[in-house]
Amino acid sequence: RTPAQRRATKIKVALLFGMVIVVVMAFLRAGRTPAPPQLAPGPFDGRVAATLTPIAQAVLQKELPDIDTPVACLAVDRADAPREVRDALRPRPGLTLVPASHCERIADEDTGSVHPPSKKKATMVDVDHFRPTAPDAGTIEYSAYHHRMWAKYKTLEVRRVNGVWQVTKTLKVVAP
């Protein structure tokens, strides 16, 4: 081969290597999950919006100490609480956190809700109806239900304080 052919081959190999690197980087970037939004989306007119992950975590972390059954079945916006929400929580010793779909809601006060795999009493916990009032504030509803005679419903004010969502005030409580 002539020196020009060798140089052309080296250039082709270098270009091919560069294209492989670009493709690999594109796959790595596409595989990343975006960080959950930290600020509430508009409009701020009282409409219900999807509950932000850090808000669900803040509400559940504040309210879980009051759960007195061995299992808490967690839901956010009427669906199983995402793993990232459950994994970020630090429950009290003896409290097991599971997705809501793993439990059975039973209204009968003699039986109450249960976690069938363990046959333990369970509390159905739901965080939903987030209503943003500003990018860093809003209200959210929380419910804890064991049976028809043991339930608690709260409306909570949440705010982002120093970059962290927190429950700042209990606006309403309905409990037997």
Specify the pLDDT at position 40.
Answer: 86
Q: How many CB atoms lie within 10 A of CB 155?
A: 16
Specify the pLDDT at position 98.
Answer: 96
Residue % of the chain over a pLDDT of 70: 96
- Going from the C-alpha of 5 to that of each of 2, 10, 14, 18, 147, the distances in angstroms are 5, 9, 14, 20, 82
Over residues 8-30, the mean pLDDT reads 89
Write out the E strands in 20-119: 71-76, 79-80, 96-99, 114-115
- Alpha carbons 70 and 2: distance in angstroms, whole number: 79
Amino acid, res. 113: S
pLDDT at position 62 over 60: yes
Specify the pLDDT at position 73.
Answer: 97
Over residues 77-105, the mean pLDDT reads 93
Over residues 62-85, the mean pLDDT reads 95
Domain assignments of the chain as residue spans, ordered by start? 1-32, 53-174
Residue 112, token pair as written in the block = 């109450």
Would the pTM count as exceeding 0.85? no
pLDDT at position 134 over 90: yes
Over residues 35-60, the mean pLDDT reads 87
Specify the pLDDT at position 41.
Answer: 80
Average pLDDT of the residues of the chain:
92
- Going from the C-alpha of 58 to that of each of 28, 85, 168, the distances in angstroms are 31, 9, 10
Determine the straight-line distance between the first and last CA of the chain, rounded to whole angstroms.
Answer: 91
Q: State pLDDT tens for residues 20-43.
A: 999 888 877 776 666 566 888 878
Over residues 59-88, the mean pLDDT reads 94
